[in-house]
Amino acid sequence: MWFSAAHFAPTLSERQRQNTWRTPQPWCEAQATTISYQGKRLLNFASNDYLGLAHHPDIKQAAIKALRVAGVGSTSAALVCGQSHYHAALEERLATFMGKPKALLFSSGYTANLAVLSTLLNAKHALFQDRLNHASLLEGGLHSGAYFRRYRHGDMAHLEQLLKRQEKPTLVATDGVFSMDGDIAPLPALLQLCQQYNALLYVDDAHGFGVLGAQGRGIAEHFGVPFASLPLTMVTLGKALGVSGAAVVGDEHLIDYLQQFAKPYIFTTAMSPVMAAAALRALELIQEEPWRREKATTLARYFHQEAVRMGYTMAPSNTPIQPLIVGTNGAALHLSHWLFERGVLATAIRPPTVPLGTARLRFTITAAHSRAEVDTLLSLLAQAAATQGVAKAR
């Protein structure tokens, strides 16, 4: 039988042989910068809680208050009875914050990207994406049925070649900050090309929202690009805001179309009202406390400079995402385990998440980390460079 254990065994065995087998490690307690596994307290450098808001007392209180009023779950899809006043208020405030007419909430960024691409596109359209885009954008493109090609990472000349040859209505999709490399998409150049060739630009700003820009409005604010020139942007609430969920923010007709026709929105239980209430307070805090962005960026740059000075190969990132490239899957797993045994959590990222030969440890430096905690990590990396033979992966 095709679904027997014997059918799947070779593929599963091959994944183990290639050191790409992945297993979740359930934690039992987490604080701002530490996490507990099986009674072992670890410094956490793997979280996407860039601004250190996941444990903020104000956000916890907002969640507790909503829990008492609205219960735990939304209990329904938004268009049935799952849309609370917390959801409505969050959509309104996100739209205002991002300088756009409307926003639409989703349970995750993955769902939002699937919804946008599979709803707006079909076989009559073309879709071009950066080669290093998040898997949700790639999956959404495949599901859309559109003519789909990927341009070389950040290569605007390659993108223009594709646009020149295309006669179908076209959408260009890009990450704002690339999640495994930490670099930033060339938004002004992307906009110029999309305007020149009459293409719709869709930006997944999951890792830029809350982090980039003076007010945390993301990649557009970072580059000084008018919000009016971005028709559609996806932002997540589970990274810089420290909660969960996502939203697509954009022009009114596009948001209305998604609300009426996007199956991943229509047929999915709405995000918890508790998370919506928590996100409302988090949205206020990223504006009230800009020092969080400044601290995360300063610490990340310090970490990057020191790691390079030791001889490590670091991706060219100026964001809290700081990938240390070691090359092979085995080397990444070895260094991750070595750090784990010494009290640091840094997850090994391997193919197919990243290209072959670029296995890495993806460190994230957050506003919650202290200089002393970053120095602890650097001290361990110095020891590893001296004793484990992992620094010369150039």
CATH code for position 283: 3.40.640.10
Residue located via tokens 């993955």? 110
- The span from the CA of 120 to the CA of 112, in Å, is 12
Q: Kindly state whether residues 247 and 294 are assigned to the same domain.
A: no
Question: How many domains in the chain?
Answer: 2
Residue located via tokens 């596009």? 254
Q: Kindly state whether residues 244 and 357 are assigned to the same domain.
A: no
- The span from the CA of 134 to the CA of 175, in Å, is 7
CATH number of residue 295's parent domain: 3.90.1150.10
Q: Residue 209, by phi and psi: left (phi above 0), alpha (psi -120 to 50) or beta? A: beta
Contacts of 188 (CB under 8 A, 6+ apart): 223, 225
- The span from the CA of 266 to the CA of 79, in Å, is 7
pLDDT at 390: 67
Q: Kindly state whether residues 170 and 298 are assigned to the same domain.
A: no
And the tokens for 299?
């610490």
Distances (CA, A) of 81 to 78, 176, 270: 6, 33, 9
Q: Kindly state whether residues 164 and 79 are assigned to the same domain.
A: yes
Distances (CA, A) of 311 to 99, 197, 330, 359, 371: 43, 43, 19, 17, 21
Q: Kindly state whether residues 302 and 239 are assigned to the same domain.
A: no
pLDDT in tens, 65-99: 999 999 999 999 999 999 999 999 999 999 999 99
Q: Kindly state whether residues 73 and 185 are assigned to the same domain.
A: yes
pLDDT at 391: 56
Half-sphere exposure of 6 (CA within 13 A, CB side): 2
Q: Kindly state whether residues 32 and 173 are assigned to the same domain.
A: no
And the tokens for 171?
């959408």
Q: Which of 264, 288, 312 is the last residue of a domain?
A: 288
Distances (CA, A) of 322 to 107, 194, 344, 369: 27, 30, 15, 14
Q: Which of 288, 308, 324 is the last residue of a domain?
A: 288
pLDDT at 259: 98
Q: Is residue 294 part of a domain?
A: yes
- The span from the CA of 50 to the CA of 95, in Å, is 22
Domain of residue 349, residue span? 26-51+290-387
Which amino acid makes up residue 138?
L
Tell me the sheet residues that pair with 349.
360
pLDDT in tens, 103-118: 999 999 999 999 999 9
Q: Kindly state whether residues 323 and 367 are assigned to the same domain.
A: yes
Q: Is residue 182 part of a domain?
A: yes
pLDDT at 57: 97
Could you write out the DSSP letters of every residue in 89-139?
HHHHHHHHHTTSSEEEEES-HHHHHHHHHHHH--TT-EEEEETT--HHHHH
Q: Kindly state whether residues 236 and 344 are assigned to the same domain.
A: no
pLDDT at 393: 43
pLDDT at 18: 86
CB-based burial label for 157 (10 Å; 0-12, 13-18, 19+): exposed
Q: Kindly state whether residues 87 and 113 are assigned to the same domain.
A: yes
Q: Is residue 393 part of a domain?
A: no
pLDDT in tens, 120-168: 999 999 999 999 999 999 999 999 999 999 999 999 999 999 999 999 9
CB atoms within 10 A of CB 42: 20
pLDDT at 29: 76
Q: Kindly state whether residues 103 and 153 are assigned to the same domain.
A: yes
Dihedral, CA of residue 216, residue 98, residue 70 and residue 65, to nearest 10: 30
pLDDT at 184: 98
**Global confidence as pTM:** 0.93
Q: Is residue 96 part of a domain?
A: yes
Contact 54, 63 (CB under 8 A): no
Q: Is residue 129 part of a domain?
A: yes
CA-based angle 346:350:353, to the nearest 5? Answer: 110
And the tokens for 324?
């240390």
Q: Is residue 16 part of a domain?
A: no
Q: Which of 288, 322, 345 is the last residue of a domain?
A: 288
Tell me the catalytic residues.
Answer: 179, 207, 239
Each of the 394 residues of the chain gets a pLDDT tens digit; together they read 878 888 988 888 988 888 888 887 777 778 889 999 878 899 999 999 999 999 999 999 999 999 999 999 999 999 999 999 999 999 999 999 999 999 999 999 999 999 999 999 999 999 999 999 999 999 999 999 999 999 999 999 999 999 999 999 999 999 999 999 999 999 999 999 999 999 999 999 999 999 999 999 999 999 999 999 999 999 999 999 999 999 999 999 999 999 999 999 999 999 999 999 999 999 999 999 999 999 999 999 999 999 999 999 999 999 999 999 999 999 999 999 999 999 999 999 999 889 999 999 999 999 999 999 999 999 999 999 988 776 544 4
Q: Is residue 6 part of a domain?
A: no
